[in-house]
Structure 1
């Protein structure tokens, strides 16, 4: 299997009518909603070029009070994100699957897991969801994505979140090629103790 070029992957955002472009707009709306609610600490896993977070943050009236950590493994994407990052947003080039990568930045008020669940096994999705409370404060909003090709795993992912102490806020994309889910953490504070990777990309 040819390794995916994660820089060129971003080009699909710019194709008129693409499902990734639609997904991008949906995620940005939810990011804006979280910032409007008062989110001040943000972490983004596998952040890519930060197109879903950074433009919204840069234009938001509360941008000066927000601290964001974007973790991205591809050095080229990390460099692009760093060039677009407003003050208060830090881009780290590293393995976003490692929970300890977020030490000092969590508990966060907004956690973004976009572009992850479609590239890992079902078992790793469940492992990631089970670890997310360690990144969250009570009330944290988690925005996640998953393509809706058959078999559509979005309903099961919702169940896994809800079994793990999260309540559903919204799910978008039914009948399209994309899925955007938003869940809010309703459990107690959990210390960051996990050492093992949450996931590994399989394609």
Structure 2
């Protein structure tokens, strides 16, 4: 089996009207909302080329106040993200599934889990949701994505978030589901050795 071309996967973002392009616009809208509300620390899991966060941040009036860490394993995507990253953004090449990859950057006000839940097992989705409080400051916003193909896991993902101390803000669906939850629970200490998921 050949390894997936994660850099080439991003090409669909450039196709007007594609599901990924529509998803990207929704995610960017909610990133902007979080920045408008004062989010100052951001982490992005499996950040790819940073196409969701980086353009929004570069154009935002609070961009100089924001510190972000993007974690991505693919070297080509890391290079592309570093070229696009404004000051205050750290792009780390590493395993985004390990909580230790975020040490020093959390608790964050905005956590991006985009393009993850469609590439891991259902059990790992649930495990990841259960561990996300370790990345979250009080009232942090988590933006996540998952396709709506059958069997549609989005309703269960919402339940797992809400069982874990998150309040639902919205779920938007246009080929892809984009969920927004706000953390309403207490601070949780980081377990650096813990693994959230393994890509299928």
SS at structure 2 position matched to 1:179 = strand
Using the size of structure 2 for normalisation, the TM-score is 0.98
* Residue equivalent to 2:27: 27
* Residue equivalent to 1:198: 196
The Cα of 1:17 is off from its aligned counterpart by 1.0
* Residue equivalent to 2:92: 92
Give the count of matched residue pairs. 200
Using the size of structure 1 for normalisation, the TM-score is 0.97
Kept in 2, the 8 Å contact 1:24–1:52? The answer is: yes
SS at structure 1 position matched to 2:44 = strand
Taking the TM superposition and a 5 Å limit, the aligned residue runs for 1:82-121 are 82-121=82-121
Taking the TM superposition and a 5 Å limit, the aligned residue runs for 1:182-193 are 182-193=180-191
* Structure 1 Cα separation of the partners of residues 153 and 169 of structure 2: 18
Once the two structures are overlaid, the 10-residue window that deviates more, 17-26 or 2-11, is 2-11
* Structure 1 Cα separation of the partners of residues 183 and 38 of structure 2: 15
* Residue equivalent to 2:8: 8
Q: CA RMSD in A?
A: 0.8
Kept in 2, the 8 Å contact 1:131–1:194? The answer is: no
* Residue equivalent to 2:176: 178
Unaligned residue ranges in structure 2 (runs of 5+): none
* Residue equivalent to 1:53: 53
* Structure 2 Cα separation of the partners of residues 33 and 88 of structure 1: 19
Kept in 2, the 8 Å contact 1:13–1:21? The answer is: yes
After the TM superposition, which segments of 4 or more aligned residues of structure 1 sit over 6 Å from their partners?
A: none
The Cα of 1:3 is off from its aligned counterpart by 2.4
Unaligned residue ranges in structure 1 (runs of 5+): none
**1:138-157 deviation per Cα after TM superposition (whole angstroms, max 9, x unaligned):** 10000000011111111110
The Cα of 1:186 is off from its aligned counterpart by 0.2
The Cα of 1:164 is off from its aligned counterpart by 0.5
**1:11-37 deviation per Cα after TM superposition (whole angstroms, max 9, x unaligned):** 001112100000000000000000000
Once the two structures are overlaid, the 10-residue window that deviates more, 9-18 or 107-116, is 9-18
**1:34-78 deviation per Cα after TM superposition (whole angstroms, max 9, x unaligned):** 000000000000000000000000000000000000000001100
The Cα of 1:194 is off from its aligned counterpart by 4.8
SS at structure 1 position matched to 2:176 = coil
